[in-house]
Each structure stands twice: as structure tokens, then as C-alpha cells.
Chains A and B, each alone.
Chain A
Amino acid sequence: MDAQATIPPALRAAAEALGASLERSEPVAAFREAKARLDADEQARGMLKYLAEADADLRRRQAEGTLTRADIDRVRATQQEAWSNPVIAGFAEAQQTAIGYLPEINELISELLGWDFAAMAAAPSTC
């Protein structure tokens, strides 16, 4: 587990305010709603779980050299079925929109600092 730094009170307050503000923003609020809809939809969650398993199985077969055309067609059919589910499609779209919005905010933070805040936060110590 990564070590945790102590956040000074003023910085913690500013980070909490930014988090609350982002939470209320249209892209993040829409993402959270879409996520809640997905979490509540057993069929959609089951479909995603099945898709993840089928994808992992495909990669395993590819590594083993036992992949067949039928395996690929089966995964593609599962993918198409998943993306035609409105809850899954809505979640994927909301996620993309939210992910597309955050770099704008990082840019604002980073402009003030003179370095990329997100890159600094994401960089693993071994990178």
C-alpha cells in the first residue's frame, strides 16, 4: 500500500471544495447517475461480467495459440449485445464524457503550478 502524505488543513479544504464542485458538475453528476443505474441493473452487470470473462478467455487462448474464428465471433457477438443494452451504453457514454472533462480542470490547476498535477499524482515511484 502507498504511503499517505499529511494534507495541510487549507489544502484539504480546497481539495474538498474542488471535489464537491466536481461532484455537482454536469459530466460527473451524469456519470454517477449512470453508474448508479448500472449498479442497480443485475442483467447489465451480469452481461459485463460475462463479457470480461469471455475477453479474458480470448486473451488466454490467443497466448496459448488455440484461438479460433468461432471464439472471436462469440466475443464480438457478446460485445454487440452488451453495447446495445441502454444502461451499459449510457454508462459508457457518461464515463467518456466525464473522463473527457477532467483534463480541462487539470489544465487549470497545472497552469498555476507550472507542472502537470495529474502526471505527478499518477506517477508510480518506479516510473
Chain B
Amino acid sequence: MTQIRETVSPVVAEEPGWRSGVERAARDFGAALSETPEFKAFERAYVRFRDDERAQQALRAYQEEQRSLQPLLMLGAASAEQRAELERLRQAWMAEASVTEYVEAQTSLAMLSRTIDELLSERIGFGFAAACNPSCCG
């Protein structure tokens, strides 16, 4: 025990203090966020969307069409009819009630998360979420 104390530098010896403090605060924050109406609505909407076979089928139809058209879309060579069919499938999927509810819940939670991120970022002096997602949207 004494030997360890003698060989550990003061900086390393202090690390567990601030580390455990931040970790505890992060867990408390996560727990508080999970208690918000936005989070609970998002969870409910996600489960409803996941279990909605009609919505899942509409999503699969849209994704399959998107995958098959991807090479043409990337080259800008898809015809107007092909693009219209893709858009029709997207609209059909988005029109499902469980999808609308899920998108709305996600939007609300994202807005709350962004507002908190601004608060955290202001405190630490740089973007919290940006630091964790360096490649988001290029």
C-alpha cells in the first residue's frame, strides 16, 4: 500500500476523484433525462412504431425501392417516374400514424437534447455533442 502511494504521481492519484464525480453526475443526468415527458413519449412511440407491422412493411417497401434506385439517384439518372414512385412510397410510410407519432416524439426529444447540449457546451467552452460526433453530416 505504502509502496503504491510512493510511486503514483500526484496527478494520477487525484484522477479517481474528478473521474468518479463526473461519472456520477453523468449517470444522474441520464436518469433525470429518462424521467422527462419527452423521453417517455419517445420510448412509447418507438415501441408502437416497432410493433406496427403495417408501418414496418411500408418502411421496407420504401427502403427496397431506395436501394434499387440508389445507383441511378447518385448519378442523377433516375427518371421522373422513378423519383415520383420513391416519393410516393416515402409519403405512404410517413403517413402511418405510428410513424408520425414517432417522428414527432423524436423531434421533441432532439430539441430538448439540443437545448441541454447548448447549456453543457457553454459551460465547458466547446461543443459537447459535436465533440462526440465529429463526422455527423460531414
- Which of A's residues lie within 8 Å of B, judged by CB? 2-5, 7-8, 10-26, 28, 31-32, 35, 95, 98-99, 102-103, 105-106, 108-114, 117-125, 127
In angstroms, Cα B122 to Cα A20, docked, is 11
Q: Is B76 an interface residue (CB 8 A)?
A: no
Is A18's CB under 8 angstroms from B26's CB? yes
A10 (CB) vs chain B CBs: closest residue? B32
Question: CB distance B22 to A121 under 8 Å?
Answer: no
User: With A and B bound together, what is the CA distance between A114 and B32 in angstroms?
Assistant: 14
B90 to chain A, nearest CB (A): 15
Q: With the chains together, A48 CA to B70 CA distance in Å?
A: 42
A124 touching B137 by the CB < 8 A rule? yes
Report chain A residues within 8 Å CB of B14: 26
**B24 contacts which chain A residues (CB < 8 A)?**
21
Closest chain A residue, CB of each to CB of B43: A114
24 A–B contacts, CB within 8 A, in A order: A2-B114, A5-B115, A7-B112, A7-B119, A11-B116, A14-B32, A18-B22, A19-B120, A19-B122, A21-B22, A25-B21, A31-B125, A102-B131, A102-B132, A105-B26, A106-B128, A106-B129, A109-B33, A110-B30, A118-B117, A120-B106, A121-B128, A122-B114, A122-B129
A127 and B36 contact, CB distance less than 8 A? no
A103 and B132 form a contact (CB under 8 A): yes
CB neighbours (8 Å) of B36 from chain A are: 8, 11
